[in-house]
């Protein structure tokens, strides 16, 4: 009876070991991801390398009216705010300066982070070579896309990694960053349409509809209006200037 009991125990232990091995095999990717033991890929390397630069670029450009180096601007608290709707004449509505604002913003981000992207791609090559991989990279260029709740950066470079008999291919490299700038740009475009059509925008309707939005409308002495849009949850801002239906100096027009 003792021998039979021992055999039974060994059989049970064997079954448990086999079952555990099967579970590890099936769920290892999820387990490793949960505890941070994921294998580094070219895309994950680029993500870590570029992400902070993309976020910094968004913040810098958004506080200057959507341009890296504003040309037609209003100086507000020592900061250049691009005129997104402008006329230098009195009593007339303004003309849109950036009718494709989102596309312009995307191009400005791409221009700003271009050097960092090139640096990170070169660092990625060196990183995988040092790990014993033969790495081949083809293609060039990248594009930035502003989407609801996030920004995507797609690097149009295919990567092939080979080590021993193992080979992995990646059609392109991608970086993503959470951002509310899409929503802020959309609201700015709506405000600018009001400025171009009627000379001013009623901002309270936006805050009544978007409860996490703060809109500041600040009239300046020369007829310029400074708009500051803030997402209360994320803290992100988009600020810009407009000059529309301005009164001549000395008439003392009040905000509409």
How large a percentage of the chain has pLDDT more than 90?
A: 71
Can you spell out the DSSP letters for 150-205? Answer: EEEEEE--EEEEEETTEEEEES-EEEEEE--HHHHHHHHHHHHHHHHHHS----HH
Strand partners, 239: 228
Residue 60: pLDDT band with limits 50, 70, 90: very high
pLDDT recorded at residue 250: 58
The predicted structure's pLDDT at residue 16: 63
Mean pLDDT of the chain: 87
Closest CA to 242 of 76, 109, 57, 107: 76
Predicted confidence band of residue 105 (pLDDT cuts 50, 70, 90): very high
**Model confidence at 26: pLDDT above 60:** no
Distance between CA atoms of residues 177 and 50, nearest Å: 10
- pLDDT higher than threshold 80 for residue 158: yes
Residue 35 has a pLDDT of 37
Which of the pair, 75 or 168, is modelled with greater confidence? 75
As a whole number, mean pLDDT of residues 172-187 equals 94
Taking residues 136-161, report their average pLDDT. 92
pLDDT digits (tens, 9 = 90+) for 190-219: 999 999 999 999 999 999 999 999 999 999
DSSP symbol at 97: S
Task: Judge whether 121 and 87 are in contact, CB under 8 Å.
Answer: no
- 116-125, pLDDT tens digit by residue? 999 999 999 9
* Residue 252: pLDDT over 70: no
Return the higher-pLDDT residue of 71 and 15.
Answer: 71
Whether 242 shows a pLDDT value over 70: the answer reads yes
Q: Per-residue pLDDT averaged across 163-188, rounded?
A: 91
The per-residue pLDDT for 8 is: 66
pLDDT score at 170:
87
Contacts of 83 (CB under 8 A, 6+ apart): 65, 72, 73, 74, 94, 97, 224, 240, 241, 242, 243
Question: For residues 18 and 97, which has the higher predicted lDDT (pLDDT)?
Answer: 97
Residue 34 has pLDDT above 50, yes or no: no
């Amino acid at each position: 009876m003792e021998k039979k009991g021992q055999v039974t125990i060994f059989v049970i232990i064997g079954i448990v070991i086999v079952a555990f091995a099967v579970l590890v095999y099936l769920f290892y990717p999820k387990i490793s991801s949960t505890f941070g033991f994921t294998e580094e890929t070219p895309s994950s390397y680029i993500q870590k390398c570029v992400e902070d630069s993309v976020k910094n670029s968004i913040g810098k450009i958004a506080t200057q009216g959507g341009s890296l180096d504003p040309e037609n601007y209003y100086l507000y608290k020592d900061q250049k705010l691009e005129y997104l709707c402008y006329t230098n004449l009195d009593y007339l509505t303004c003309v849109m300066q950036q009718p494709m604002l989102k596309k312009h913003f995307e191009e400005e981000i791409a221009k700003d982070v271009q050097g960092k992207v090139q640096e990170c791609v070169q660092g990625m090559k060196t990183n995988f070579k040092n790990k014993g991989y033969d790495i081949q990279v083809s293609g060039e260029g990248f594009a930035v896309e502003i989407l609801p709740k996030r920004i995507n950066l797609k690097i149009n470079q295919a990567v092939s990694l080979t080590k021993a008999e193992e080979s992995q291919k990646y059609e392109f490299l991608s970086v993503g960053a959470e951002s509310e700038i899409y929503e802020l740009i959309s609201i700015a475009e709506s405000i600018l349409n009001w400025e171009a059509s009627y000379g001013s925008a009623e901002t309270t309707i936006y805050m009544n509809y978007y409860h996490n939005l703060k809109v500041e409308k600040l009239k300046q002495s020369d007829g310029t209006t400074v708009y500051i849009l803030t997402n209360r949850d994320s803290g992100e801002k988009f600020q810009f200037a407009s000059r529309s239906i301005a009164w001549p100096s000395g008439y003392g027009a009040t905000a509409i």
